[in-house]
A and B are shown apart, each in its own frame.
Chain A
């Protein structure tokens, strides 16, 4: 690694599966709406990209409240993938995002293989979409979602079908609720995916001991936030060793240090999630922190640090 003089602005450009990102900082799906919700606080032009909230073929109402519960250094959610559907996304949400010089990655899901394929087809040839992130790991819906992401055969079948439906790069968002994440990473690679997103939320539960009822109406929910970061780093590290696909690392990233942890573990890009709720400027704080770290360590280009954790 070439040491560069102090105070030279590092090169944060990343080529992720053929997508040119101006920096590796993205927004995790479901934590940044469709960009507009937080644009008052974040100039979207400064981000590497926006991964939008999950889109399905038809509008989804979502789960009844209460949908969220705070836990130590984290939170449980069971939103239930509420979204306005792909038609509204294309006519009302995407035109706003097109105004910005940032990569738009569209997160999709369905309740059947057929629905995944159909929503993918709706995005084919649409201007302003850089890639599709396929959510096979939402823990909060009964059919679809995690049902695909925790069965390696279902994962293969689904991702192969989505692959055939589009020429856009596809990124599989894998579930951490599995024993061996590398099996799923390999299945995604064999199915022709161009990248991986790791990790989605961990299935959790909290109980009100006075009412003796679950805190969430859905009973269980997905755990996110700094509480899950070590698990996410471990899974990124395992997956990065098992496959050659580039990885978007996520799970409790709050600072530039946290982001670099994922990059050293093998992630080529990172996504800021729950931190956006705690601090709407979190993405920019992470970006600034990352840049300062590179300056401090006199690293000229972020590319040089991907997977560079020293394991003795």
Chain B
């Protein structure tokens, strides 16, 4: 297949809470895409911005279309909001390695933080097994848009929400309610964790998975120039030394592979303390 193409924008709308939903006519991408994979979109054909932007695929609404949910965070995404239905966008994809699709008798536990939910949205709509979604944010306003929450509620067995200020769901961290949930589970086999969100959250999810010996897959974010493994910009530090490319060997990695220590300074001190006690 030709992964480099021009795709017509079928629809492009604000969906609330600072998010936009863009649907592209891209039959080849739609038929090949797997949850966790991404595309590089050119927000403009000019030299500035020079590089395309990576976006996780959030759904394949029809056989021939691809949906991207994105939050406006900078210059590239601001420019993207100006692209209208009927216009053409340069698109490269699908790229990278996605989540392993869980088998029927598995319980899929998804964890999303910040604006990390789009790949999990795609995943939740593709799986046939029971699934739980753990969503976390600072406050109610930072949660995914209402329409997306509704989709998750219809595709998942249950949606668990935690906000730091308690304005929706449980007051606290997603990883706190995740930890309680996983601890209470009687049978810890046939569970798979899939997470996407801030680095600190992924590190915490990975620790929970380690403690309970649950397989865990994380979707990593890093700035990238090409999306094809040539620029070596999107390096993720590995436990056994060296780096792997988020665009090629990732963005989804087995959480056990990743060296979580390289970047973070205790994002959830209270939680690390608790986990450390448990490990001992």
Contact = CB atoms under 8 A, between A and B. Distances in A.
Of the candidates A65, A77, A254, A280, the one having the most CB atoms from chain B within 10 angstroms of its own CB is: A65
B222 A254 contact: no
Given A61-B242, A68-B223, A82-B243, A278 B50 contact: yes
Contacts of B225: 68, 70, 75, 77, 274, 277-278
A120 B232 CA distance: 24
Interface in A33-76: 33, 37-38, 40-41, 53, 61-62, 64-70, 72-75
B50 A70 contact: yes
A301 interface: no
Of the candidates B228, B234, B236, the one having the most CB atoms from chain A within 10 angstroms of its own CB is: B228
A68 B42 CA distance: 18
B226 A277 contact: yes
A93 interface: no
B237 interface: yes
A278 B262 contact: no
B52 A278 contact: yes
B48 A73 contact: yes
Nearest to B232: A79
Contacts, number: 95
Interface residues on B, range: 20 to 34
Interface of A is mostly: loop
A278 B234 contact: no
A225 B51 CA distance: 10
Nearest to B242: A61
B135 interface: no
A68 B236 CA distance: 13
Interface of B: 3-4, 42, 47-52, 90, 92, 222-226, 228-237, 241-243, 262-263
Interface of A: 30-33, 37-38, 40-41, 53, 61-62, 64-70, 72-75, 77, 79, 82, 225-226, 254, 274, 276-281
6 contacts: A30-B232, A64-B237, A65-B237, A79-B233, A276-B230, A279-B90
